[in-house]
Amino acid sequence: MNILLLEDHPIFRFGVSRLITERWPAAIVSGVASLAEALAALRLTPFQLAITDLNLPDADGLDAVVQLLRVQPQLPLLVLSFNSEAAYAQRSLKLGAMGYLAKNQATIELIPALERIAAGGRYISAALAEELADLMAGKQKREPHEELSAQEFRVLQQLAAGLRVSEIAAAMHLSPKTVSTYRSRILDKLNVNSNAELAQYCVNHKVLVSPL
């Protein structure tokens, strides 16, 4: 079984690889540290499973999920992230990921998650499932950014990271006019007036932000 592991922290990458090979001794784990390396590997090798972090040196947030699945649409993908916020899990699954796991649960839950995904199922932890259920039932207050669409959320992160509209348009394969429309909607939904206020909002609400 070929498994692609996209994780930029060498120690964590080593630990995940070891957990996998202890469970599947014959597995080949291709560990890479950047989205560019992962995309190149996907174009050369068919993988049965993939694992990705969300905060990478050359991509941020959900962009890794989008780009990996663009190259191999049927790839069973597990998101493994320090960010356990339910909104990220929900958006990852909507974009095509088959599972979402917080890194602090990896030692216990990584192998069950991969087993379930390899069998064609989906995986989220019991705690995260309860959090998502509470959100859907209205028991938890939804933050304004949780009301954004997947595309609006991606644009939000990139604007807050300091990218220009033209740069975002090129990265997302959209027209500048479309990105500007998304920006206007985001400003309205978050009740802010500028990119600087967007950036401050992301800091205050612990929304992952780093340049693409």
Of residues 56 and 87, the one with the higher pLDDT is 56
CA distance linking residue 105 with residue 21, whole number of Å: 18
Cβ 66 vs Cβ 22: under 8 Å: no
Taking residue 19's Cβ as centre, other Cβ atoms within 10 Å add up to 16
| Two structure tokens written together for 65 | 């999920």
Architecture of the 2-137 domain:
3-Layer(aba) Sandwich (3.40)
- If one compares 138 and 160, the residue with the highest pLDDT of the two is 160
Choose between 16 and 62: higher pLDDT: 16
Say if residues 49 and 120 touch (Cβ distance below 8 Å): no
- Percent of the chain at pLDDT > 90 equals 40
Q: Report phi then psi at 95, rounded to 5.
A: -80, -5
Domain 144-204 sits in CATH at: 1.10.10.10
Locate the domains of the chain by residue range.
2-137, 144-204
Report pLDDT for 82.
Answer: 77
pTM above 0.75, yes or no: no
Neighbours of 86 (CB within 10 A): 22
Instruction: Determine what percent of the chain is predicted with pLDDT higher than 70.
Output: 90
